[in-house]
């Protein structure tokens, strides 16, 4: 059982380039999330999705876009990479049910923008 899979694990981008961070989960979870973790800080929510075709902004959405065409996949796109987007990105998913179920996290994507 793979859980939440993120690709790539590492990436270096030049300023102004674009890229897509991939996230796939095989647990049939309705809810999916993207967080970023800056050095010495906690995770901050970028975007989230409650089901296929439904997405919404989190705390720090500027500079990012998402889509959710299937239950399994929730890619995060950076259109014009900026140094401020250097961070570790985590994708997570959770079951849609009562009591706010724990989120399952991927292993993260470490992104550097130079």
Partner 1 sequence: AQKVTQAQTEISVVEKEDVTLDCVYETRDTTYYLFWYKQPPSGELVFLIRRNSFDEQNEISGRYSWNFQKSTSSFNFTITASQVVDSAVYFCALSEAGEAGGTSYGKLTFGQGTILTVHP
Looking only at the bridges linking them, the beta strands covering 54-57 and 43-51 are: antiparallel
Please report whether residue 89 would count as binding partner 1 according to CB under 8 A.
no
Among 45, 67, 72, 73, which residue sits at the site for partner 1 (rule: CB under 8 A)? 45
Please report whether residue 114 would count as binding partner 1 according to CB under 8 A.
no
- Degrees to nearest 5, angle at CA 52 with 51 and 58: 55
Positions 23 through 42 that interact with partner 1 (CB under 8 A): 31, 33, 35, 40-42
Please report whether residue 82 would count as binding partner 1 according to CB under 8 A.
no
CB atoms within 10 A of CB 2: 9
Of residues 18 and 104, the one with the C-beta less far from partner 1 = 104
Of residues 38 and 73, the one with the C-beta less far from partner 1 = 38
Contacts of 83 (CB under 8 A, 6+ apart): 15, 113, 114
């Amino acid at each position: 059982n793979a859980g939440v899979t993120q690709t790539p694990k590492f990436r270096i981008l030049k300023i102004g380039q674009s890229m897509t961070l991939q996230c796939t989960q095989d647990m049939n979870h309705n809810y999916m999330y993207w967080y970023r973790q800056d050095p010495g800080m906690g995770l901050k929510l970028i975007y989230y999705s409650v089901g296929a075709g439904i997405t919404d902004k989190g705390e720090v959405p500027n500079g990012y876009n998402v889509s959710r065409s299937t239950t399994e996949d929730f890619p995060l796109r950076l259109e014009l990479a900026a140094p401020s987007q250097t961070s570790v990105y985590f994708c997570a998913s959770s079951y849609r049910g009562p009591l706010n179920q724990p989120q399952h996290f991927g292993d993260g994507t470490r992104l550097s923008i130079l």
